[in-house]
Structures are given as C-alpha cells and as structure tokens.
Structure 1
Amino acid sequence: MVDSTVLENPPVPRHERTADMTVTPVPFTFTRDGDRLVGNLFLPAGDPTAVVITTGPLTSVKEQAAGVYAAALAERGFAALAFDHRTFGESEGIPRQLEDPLGKAADISAAVTAVQADPRLAGKPVVAVGVCAGGGYMARAVADDTRIRAFAGVAGVYPDGSGADPAVLARGRAARELRESTGEILSIPAVAADNGDVAMPLTEAYEYYGTPRGAVPNYTNAFAVESYEHTPGFDAQEAAARLTVPFLLVHSAHALVPPWARAFYTAVTTPKSDLWLNSQGQIDFYDDPTLIAPAADAAAAFFTKAIG
C-alpha cells in the first residue's frame, strides 16, 4: 500500500471541529540503565485506541514538540507519552545534554516496556511518532523493537551517516576523554542569535529555542560537545529497509533535507503513506496549528488502520 497526499492549504485544525479536548496529562516515570526518566502521559477521555510514544528534536524536552504531538494524539483518542530523554530536562543521566541517537532509541524501548507494564494501558497496541531528529531516532527504535506496531515521522530528519567530519568526531572524542579523566563536561549552546559555535546554526531554530516561543522552563540551551562522537555518523537510512510495520511520512518541501525524507520513504517496503504539507520551514512544525492538526489527523487515521 502506497498513499501520497499533498496539502498546499491545510484545513482548519481538527481541534476546532470535532476532536475531544478532554485530555488529562499525568506524570509518568520509568528507568533505563538505572537512570530515572520523567514524562507526561496524556490520557483521552475514553478508552484509548492505542498508546503513542513520541520523541522530539535535537536537545528538546517533553514540553516542546514531543508534548505538542502527544497532546494532539490524545485529543484524537490515543494515550500518548512525551518524556525527557536521558541527560535532558527532568530526567537523570550524565553527561548532561548528551545527544546520543542510539541512546535515545534505547530510551524509547524502555518507554515501550514501561507503558506495556502500566495497568491503565494493558493490552493496548503501541505506535510511535518522531519529530525532526526524533524521526531518525524513532526509525532505529522501531526497526529494532518489534513491539511497536506503526510509525509516523513528522518533519523527520533521516541522515545516512556519510560525510562525518573527522575533526568533529575528534572534538567529541576529546570532550569525552576530558570528562572521563577530570569530570569536566564541555558544552556549547544549542542555539545563539549569531549562529556561531552552536549545535543548531539555524536562525529559525534560535527564533524557537532562544526566545519565549519555545524556551520553556524545563529546557536548557546547551549541547554536550561529547555528542559529536555520536551524531555526525548516525545512520537512520539503514533502518528504512528493516522496518516491518506501516510507516507514515509527514514532511514539507521547505522542511529540513527533503531528499533524505524521500530516500527513506522509497526504501521502506512495508505499507506506507506520505503527506506533504506547505510549511514555512522546519520549526513551524513544532508549534503551528495549521501543520500540527493535519499531521495529527493523518497519524491518528494511519495508526487506527494499521492496528486494525
């Protein structure tokens, strides 16, 4: 099954039409490798259709994009979990602000174990949403964890792991060695107005993370330099052919790296569908209702069909 849709003019957000706004967020904690991870579980008014695990962009926390999509899916009848990955936000783990794609995939699998053990969610299918960098992280998690029944990537970034700069990798390795020998953790800003030595040298990223628009109290504008041992060579593309569950791609020609998104989608061999929206860029997928609503509508319909 291959379905493809392009929306140049997204409809009025569903939550202004028919979605049930009665959503209850409750604290939800679990552990991975001895560290406590802290999340918010969004529960719909009625019996959940399924449980959605969400993960978000680089350096982000549960109150940002992951939480936005979790709440939107809960409005559409799903239980949905957004959580702070290990080393971020309220969750434990050191070095703080370590961006480790495979570590984040391991966090997702730990989250699946936790929701399946929760009596409120017993027997419910588990599905997944990854936003931005979280799309690539979730791809690896889903390819490696057969308990996840379907996957939607929203403005996902799906790197192929090629072209990693040896100098960047060496910088990350040196930061790790410094921490191991002295305990000192080197970090740089995640964003800055001048787009200098930062993790995300994008003006639109600063306009979100560096301003009240997205800089929630739980967010720390920092990126552990040690992350450069993990992020440059991360390969999400290899997971595409290994997916065994249905996949929904939600993207835009103006979002980050559409060729990666198209290559990933082409390599998926399971039932798949794609929805192309008309965004201004990448970051408006995090907080623009005219993008969030059609993406959440598409994911809800896709998941419902996928789990039968």
Structure 2
Amino acid sequence: MTTVTTRTVEYPADGLTMVGHLALPAGTGLRPAVLVGPEGMGLGDVERRRAEALAELGYVALAFDLHGGRYLGDPEEMLARCLPLLDDPDRMREIGGAALDALCAEPRTDPDRIAAVGYGTGGAIGLELGRAGVGLRAIGTVNATTTGRPGE
C-alpha cells in the first residue's frame, strides 16, 4: 500500500466556499488526475474514500463539494437545492469548472490527463463538463441525474 496524503481544498463556486477533499499519491512528479463528484447529499465519506483509493493507484484525486461544506442528509433539503441545480446547466458547469480549477491548481496534476467520475448529481456535473467541451479524457457516472434535455 502506497502512502497517500490528503488535505482540504477550499475554492469559490455557486456563491459558496466549497470544501473539497484532495488526495495525493506518493512521489513528486506529475500524475493523471480525477474529479470525484458526490451524490446530491454532498461530499461524504464514500467520495473521500474513493479519492484516496484513486491516489493509492497513482492519481491526484479531488472529491468536490456541492453545498459549501454542508452534507444535506435531509432529503427535502437536498431536493430543494439539487433540483434547481440540475435544471441549470450553466450553474452545473460553474460548480464543476471551479472544482476542475482547484484540481488543476495542484502542481502534481497533469492538465492533459484528467478524468471525472461521479455519483448522481456529481455525475451529472461531470457530464455537463463534457457537454461544455472541457478537455476531460474520460467521464464515468453512476446514476447520473439528468433533466431530459435533448441528447440525454
């Protein structure tokens, strides 16, 4: 098992201060990187562990935030925030783009080798980055929530 270093990364998005979880692999050189998008409730332990598992495999990984450091365990509160977000592609792109900028600000991130994976709302944000033409090498989702726009 390789040594993984983690730290909190704060960055602005959607009028909030987002609080992401950055996981770095051992070593010092440039590494491919992965954005890890959370389900609608927000960044939790599952996404933090996924970022750390990716770092163990040699990737720089950022599990990004959706709600300004909050985890929305109440389904009604989560839906009240996420449904309008999912209906606003520009807003999703802004949140995803800010997370991508935070990932690219890490000196070990190879900007030419970045992928995104995500669950639910975080997966939809990854897909929206792809629709926007962001230079991601791959996008993987689990239960990505979409709004039914043409081509989805």
Report the TM range for the smaller structure's normalisation.
Answer: 0.7 to 0.9
Question: Does the alignment pair 1:89 with 2:70?
Answer: yes
Structure-2 residue corresponding to 1:118:
106
- Over the matched positions of the two proteins, sequence identity in percent amounts to 27
Q: Given the superposition, is the C-alpha separation of residues 59 and 237 from structure 1 closer, same or farther in structure 2, using an over 3 Å criterion?
A: farther
Structure-2 residue corresponding to 1:131:
119
TM-score by length of 2: 0.74
Structure-2 residue corresponding to 1:68:
49
How far apart, in 2, do the equivalents of 1:111 and 1:136 lie?
Answer: 14
Q: Given the superposition, is the C-alpha separation of residues 121 and 137 from structure 1 closer, same or farther in structure 2, using an over 3 Å criterion?
A: closer
For residue 107 of structure 1, report the CA deviation from its aligned partner: 0.9
Structure-1 residue corresponding to 2:9:
28
How far apart, in 2, do the equivalents of 1:112 and 1:40 lie?
Answer: 13
| Contact 1:116 1:124 (8 Å CA) reproduced | no
Counterparts of 1:130-279 in structure 2 under 5 Å? 130-153=118-141, 155-159=142-146, 234-235=147-148, 238=151
Question: Does the alignment pair 1:50 with 2:32?
Answer: yes
| Contact 1:158 1:236 (8 Å CA) reproduced | no
How far apart, in 2, do the equivalents of 1:38 and 1:87 lie?
Answer: 6
Structure-1 residue corresponding to 2:96:
108
| Contact 2:6 2:22 (8 Å CA) reproduced | yes
Structure 2 residue matching 1:129: 3-state secondary structure: strand
Deviations 1:255-284 (CA, angstroms, capped at 9, x unpaired): xxxxxxxxxxxxxxxxxxxxxxxxxxxxxx
How far apart, in 1, do the equivalents of 2:47 and 2:70 lie?
Answer: 13
TM-score by length of 1: 0.40
Structure-2 residue corresponding to 1:40:
21
Structure 1 residue matching 2:52: 3-state secondary structure: helix
Structure showing greater relative contact order (alpha-carbon pairs closer than 8 Å, 6 or more residues apart): 2
How far apart, in 1, do the equivalents of 2:67 and 2:52 lie?
Answer: 21
Deviations 1:229-280 (CA, angstroms, capped at 9, x unpaired): xxxxx137735xxxxxxxxxxxxxxxxxxxxxxxxxxxxxxxxxxxxxxxxx
Q: Given the superposition, is the C-alpha separation of residues 144 and 109 from structure 1 closer, same or farther in structure 2, using an over 3 Å criterion?
A: same
Structure 2 residue matching 1:26: 3-state secondary structure: strand
| Contact 2:39 2:121 (8 Å CA) reproduced | yes
For residue 60 of structure 1, report the CA deviation from its aligned partner: 2.6
Bigger proportion of residues as strand: 2
| Contact 2:33 2:61 (8 Å CA) reproduced | yes
Q: Which runs of 4+ in 1 moved over 4 A?
A: none
User: Unpaired runs of 5+ in structure 1?
Assistant: 1-19, 91-95, 160-233, 240-308
How far apart, in 1, do the equivalents of 2:126 and 2:12 lie?
Answer: 18
Structure 2 residue matching 1:30: 3-state secondary structure: strand
Structure 2 residue matching 1:238: 3-state secondary structure: coil
| Contact 1:53 1:129 (8 Å CA) reproduced | yes
Task: Compare CA radii of gyration and give the structure with the larger one.
Answer: 1
